[in-house]
Amino acid sequence: MKFCNTEDQYKKFPDTKKEDVQKLMDWCSKQPHLPKNITELEVILFLHSNYNKMEAAKMTIDNYYTSRTHMSQFFGARDVKSDDMAVAHDLFTMIPLPKLTKEGYKVILVKLHNTDPSKFDLSDTLKLFSFFCDQMLLEQGCMEGHIIVFDMNGVTLSHVARLTIMAIKNYLYYLQEALPFRLKGLHFINIVPFIDKIVFLMKPFMKKELWDVFHLDSTMDAVYERIDPSIFPKDYEKGEENFVEYFHESCYKHLVEWRDYFLNEEKTKKVNEKLRAQKRKDAEGGYGLEGNFKKLDID
């Protein structure tokens, strides 16, 4: 387990300035409800993901720790070796692919590993995905952007029947308003004939900025128009990286190395609502979509 070097982040992304990060850390320390152990690296990620806009970063910080405090289905019981995570790992392969796109974007590939829908639980799947995102950000630091690619090969109507509206709503909120990376694309590839049923469930909770980078591709040729094929595993036509099965085992094994960190994080990095100076609009009845979508705003 190794965190990326903060000084390297400043060198790699000079527009993210150390003095601005310090100002943001000072602001965090003065918010009574926020955790007291927010690190410099985390603040760098928040500021960079918001294109170095201070007020937007503040909003994302609050959204991030608030979401992770209240969305227990994704961020509670943070044991990556638990039985439910073992099942999620058996069902899905999640790979932060080694190579970057020509734009410098990191691609995260998600696909079914076991197509049996009887054990599929969307909340557990998204919980495992969050573990991978956390590890990736803390190890690799800032990127020009991230692209999520979901390969639908093996998805059936029985999987769709197990989707839950609340899990979709809450995770799309977290993805759009709290996760500290610049989301440059959400691609569903090898789409199924009933993709419209899935989009119907997602679209009400997708802001325009996310919808604009949401792609449905029936063939890999369509994907390769936007993403260099060499980035993909050899299981895919023109792919040059190692096979999916290799990544399935190696990525999870590496994730488990972070187990103690995640368990400790769950105990210490939460908001204290009793100390919050001003009550949030979305404090009751789940999370709404108030405010601006920060991660895709490049102006």
Number of residues that this document lists for the chain: 299
Its sign, for the CA torsion 187, 245, 106, 71, is: positive
Q: Residue 297: its pLDDT value, please? A: 37
Please check whether residues 250 and 231 belong to one and the same domain: yes
Please check whether residues 127 and 265 belong to one and the same domain: no
The band of 281, judged by pLDDT with boundaries at 50, 70 and 90, is low
Please check whether residues 270 and 251 belong to one and the same domain: no
Mean pLDDT, rounded, for 128-138 = 97
Angle 239-85-162 from CA coordinates, rounded to 5°: 85
What does the pLDDT look like over 191-201, one tens digit per residue?
Answer: 999 999 999 99
Domain total of the chain: 2
Check which CATH number belongs to the domain holding 119 and give it.
3.40.525.10
How far apart, in whole angstroms, are the C-alpha atoms of residue 33 and residue 40?
18
The band of 296, judged by pLDDT with boundaries at 50, 70 and 90, is very low
Residue for token pair 């997602």: 202
Which percentage of the chain shows pLDDT scores above 90?
Answer: 91
Please check whether residues 245 and 271 belong to one and the same domain: no
Q: Residue 209: its pLDDT value, please? A: 96
Instruction: Determine, yes or no, domain membership for 282.
Output: no
Please check whether residues 107 and 245 belong to one and the same domain: yes
Mean pLDDT, rounded, for 17-44 = 98
Please check whether residues 171 and 43 belong to one and the same domain: no
User: What's the whole-number average pLDDT of the chain?
Assistant: 93
In which domain, by residue range, is 90 found? 80-256
Instruction: Determine, yes or no, domain membership for 298.
Output: no
The amino acid occupying position 198 is I
Instruction: Determine, yes or no, domain membership for 288.
Output: no
Please check whether residues 143 and 51 belong to one and the same domain: no
Instruction: Determine, yes or no, domain membership for 142.
Output: yes
Q: Residue 287: its pLDDT value, please? A: 47
Residue for token pair 């994080």: 265
Please check whether residues 126 and 158 belong to one and the same domain: yes
Please check whether residues 52 and 130 belong to one and the same domain: no
